[in-house]
Amino acid sequence: MGELKKSIFYREAIQLVEKPYGKFYLFDTFIVSEINEGVVFTWDGHGKNLSAQFEELYEQNGSNLVYISNRINSYSIKPNDWIKFFKSNYSFKAYGAVNYRKQSLFSLAIEKLFFNKEIQSFATIDDAIIWAKVLTEEKK
């Protein structure tokens, strides 16, 4: 599996935010998450507080940030919580998911039903980071 720590881009992270449910690597223009095995990720239990923390750290509402979910572990997201996310004042510029298992591809297909933006799928964390850098460089 492609942990970010094993990537050539790891040393570019400016901060690591560790939570009981996962790790969040912060870069200048994007965030990479690695959610822990078995977690059921929800808006009220996780996303709401994380969004507030990211808003404070980046001094913005996420609209210029790309979020990459590096799915090295098996976990689930409560799909209808995307609705709560989009009703909040926090919104990412783009969303990418690195999928290593067929199960996570199936989960991504379900998430896309609730997601109001396109979700890019990647086979490696390096490909996802290159995409995020290109995407955020376009607006500079």
| Successive 10-residue mean pLDDT values, the chain, 140 residues | 92 96 96 96 90 90 90 85 73 88 62 65 95 81
Structurally, how many domains does the chain consist of?
1
SS3 (DSSP) at 8: coil
CA distances from 109 to 46, 99, 133 (A): 22, 11, 24
SS3 (DSSP) at 70: strand
Domain assignment present for residue 140? The answer is: no
Domain assignment present for residue 96? The answer is: yes
**Which residue segment(s) compose the domain that 98 sits in?**
4-135
**Alpha-carbon span 72 to 4, nearest angstrom:** 9
Residue 43's CATH number: 3.30.750.24
Q: What is the pLDDT of residue 89?
A: 72
